[in-house]
Amino acid sequence: LMPNIPEYVFAIYGAMEAGLVVTFVNPLYTTGEILRQFENAGVKCCITIPQLFPVCEAIGPKLKGYKGTVVVGGETDQRNRVFGFKEIVTSAKPNVLLPEIDPKGVALLPYSSGTTGMPKGVMLSHRNCVANLCQCIHPALVNHVPTSAEYQERILSVLPFFHIYGFNGILNTSLSYGMHMISIPKFTPESYIECVLKYKPTVLFVVPSLLLFLASHPAVKSEHLASIKEVTCGAAPATKSLLDKFLEKVGRTDINIRQGYGMTETSPVTLFTPNHMPESKSGSTGQLVLGTRAKVVSLKTGESLPPHGSGELYVQGPQIMVGYLKNEQATKETIDEEGWLHTGDVAYYDEDGYFYIVDRTKELIKVKGNQVSPTELESIIMQMPGVADCAVVGIPDILSGEIPRAFVVLRPGHQLTESEICSFLEPKVAPYKKLAGGVRFLDVIPRNPAGKVLREELKVFGNKLEEVASS
């Protein structure tokens, strides 16, 4: 339970080398959200910072078999099972016998909503994570200058280490190459620009919302980005217009802009754009990384499709998760008997093996790269006595990509306002999960015969409501 700080590296590597399974959590989560994840994961110890210690203090007694809390920058208080990180490190005995690590054993337990539903623990093995790092070392993908006594690439990223993209895709990749990793605990425009000016990074890791900030914020000048040689964008596709807008701000075309595609369940990378990608492939999320197989399957017939046929993307490879923790049913729904992981994303590929993500079949809402489960928000709203039915969908937003909007059906004789519903939800969820798209009231939630919410209809209906309101 920590922001991006240097001690994150020592804590997580030390725990994994000691044979422990590590789960990480968003510090912005509410106490209830953290408790729910920690209970499911079976957390026995938490490493945190003094500012977040009260959260651990509150949930520790509720966790079965909890051993204590390690505080980075804190003092040891054994009576209350609190241990200072510095004291543990400096008082460690030499020649400690560490367990032999099974490559197939679970190393990480990040939480993801997967293709649908409530957040689930994604079991990633040591082999999964290492294999994905090795898959991205191919000469067609590596573009940096090797670290030497005279030169070291400088990487700037504010993407959180508690996200698999931030941890395995950025942090571990940068450290394995011996690069200078620069990060900040919390993003603010001022602190980010200050880092760019002070450290003059050569490589940026971004998500589309951050790329938009760089391209459009008046405080960001072209001279600020003079040192940048490469930009890698992940978590969500960046449009060609956004890429063009960024290059226009920079004022030069010699920057190598890369895109990738993956999931928490794939450790995370499955697709990555190679160096010197033809301009005609702009908008592609790249080609399959080494050792990965894929097929595009018709949503109607289930048959594999040829180039340019749009269907659901299935992938196979050594980076595919072990499964979901304590959820065999969800695992079977995501990984079929032949070992294909069903991504829930609609894609197509061309004759040269470049893939393009068309749409998301899954119901998750992507807010600045963060996953928001509609089911989670719906379950909270349904706790209100006056709510008969509800559904949450993502609506387009320039800055965030998507934002959640709720559609609510009231019980007869009950009155609720948009403000009351938002106020009920907000204390129970992280800030990015709030109903930034507002609340709309309906007589009935559209569903198919199986009872599944027709979310696309709600999105279209919501747009029509906006058009009527503005006319």
d(CA 286, CA 277): 9
Whether the predicted pLDDT of 185 surpasses 60: yes
* Class of residue 425 by CB neighbours under 10 A (exposed 0-12, middle 13-18, buried 19+): buried
What pLDDT band is residue 450 in, cutting at 50, 70 and 90? very low
Number of domains in the chain: 3
Residue 317 falls inside a structural domain = yes
Q: Which two tokens stand for residue 133?
A: 């790092």
Last residue of a domain, one of 46, 68, 101: 101
Three-class SS state of 408: strand
Whether the predicted pLDDT of 103 surpasses 60: yes
Residue 392 falls inside a structural domain = yes
Last residue of a domain, one of 360, 383, 417: 360
| pLDDT attached to residue 372 | 85
Q: Is the distance from CB of 232 to CB of 262 less than 8 angstroms?
A: no
Query: Do residues 461 and 430 share a domain?
Result: yes
Residue 79 falls inside a structural domain = yes
Say which CATH number the domain at 373 has: 3.30.300.30
Q: Which two tokens stand for residue 388?
A: 């008969």
Task: Give the pLDDT confidence of 427-443 residue by residue, as tens digits.
Answer: 999 999 999 999 999 99
Arithmetic mean of pLDDT, 437-460: 81
Arithmetic mean of pLDDT, 41-54: 97
d(CA 212, CA 242): 7
Query: Do residues 212 and 296 share a domain?
Result: yes
Q: Which two tokens stand for residue 420?
A: 């009351």
Q: Which two tokens stand for residue 31?
A: 């106490």
Last residue of a domain, one of 67, 101, 135: 101
- Kind of pairing between the strands at 45-48 and 68-71: parallel
Arithmetic mean of pLDDT, 120-135: 97
| pLDDT attached to residue 212 | 82
Query: Do residues 85 and 156 share a domain?
Result: no
| pLDDT attached to residue 245 | 85
Residue 462 falls inside a structural domain = yes
> How many residues are given for the chain?
471
Whether the predicted pLDDT of 469 surpasses 60: no
Query: Do residues 44 and 136 share a domain?
Result: no
Query: Do residues 257 and 182 share a domain?
Result: yes
Three-class SS state of 396: strand
Query: Do residues 349 and 371 share a domain?
Result: no
Query: Do residues 180 and 273 share a domain?
Result: yes
DSSP 70-106: EETT---BGGGTEEEHHHHHHTPPTTPPPPPPPTTSE
Query: Do residues 313 and 408 share a domain?
Result: no
Maximum average pLDDT range among 165-169, 359-363, 384-388: 165-169
Arithmetic mean of pLDDT, 8-18: 94
Arithmetic mean of pLDDT, 367-377: 84
| pLDDT attached to residue 451 | 57
Which positions ≥6 away from 136 have C-beta within 8 Å?
142, 173, 269, 272, 289
Arithmetic mean of pLDDT, 29-38: 94
Whether the predicted pLDDT of 465 surpasses 70: no
Between these two residues, 462 and 97, which has the higher pLDDT value? 97
Neighbours of 219 (CB within 10 A): 10
Query: Do residues 180 and 230 share a domain?
Result: yes
Whether the predicted pLDDT of 449 surpasses 60: no
Say which CATH number the domain at 282 has: 3.40.50.12780
Residue 412 falls inside a structural domain = yes
Q: Which two tokens stand for residue 153?
A: 């690439």
| pLDDT attached to residue 358 | 76
Residue 110 falls inside a structural domain = no
Query: Do residues 134 and 95 share a domain?
Result: no
* CA separation, residue 71 to residues 158, 354, 463 (Å): 22, 46, 48
Q: Is the distance from CB of 22 to CB of 109 less than 8 angstroms?
A: yes
The CA-based diameter of the chain, rounded to the nearest angstrom, is 75
| pLDDT attached to residue 454 | 82
Q: What range does the domain containing 349 cover?
A: 124-360
Three-class SS state of 12: helix
Query: Left (φ > 0), alpha (ψ -120 to 50) or beta: where does 313 sit?
Result: beta
* CA separation, residue 1 to residues 9, 70, 366, 377 (Å): 13, 10, 22, 23
* pLDDT averaged over every residue in the chain: 90
Residue 210 falls inside a structural domain = yes
| pLDDT attached to residue 420 | 97
d(CA 404, CA 232): 27
Query: Left (φ > 0), alpha (ψ -120 to 50) or beta: where does 410 sit?
Result: beta
Residue 106 falls inside a structural domain = no
Query: Do residues 336 and 439 share a domain?
Result: no
Say which CATH number the domain at 94 has: 3.40.50.980
d(CA 257, CA 131): 24
Query: Do residues 222 and 317 share a domain?
Result: yes
Q: Which of 330, 369, 383 lies closest to 32, judged by CA?
A: 383
* Class of residue 128 by CB neighbours under 10 A (exposed 0-12, middle 13-18, buried 19+): buried
Arithmetic mean of pLDDT, 331-360: 91
What pLDDT band is residue 304 in, cutting at 50, 70 and 90? very high
| Burial annotation 382-410 (CB, 10 A radius, 16+ → b, else e) | eebeebebbbbbbbebeebbbbbbbbbeb
The share of the chain scoring above pLDDT 70, in percent, equals: 95
What pLDDT band is residue 470 in, cutting at 50, 70 and 90? low
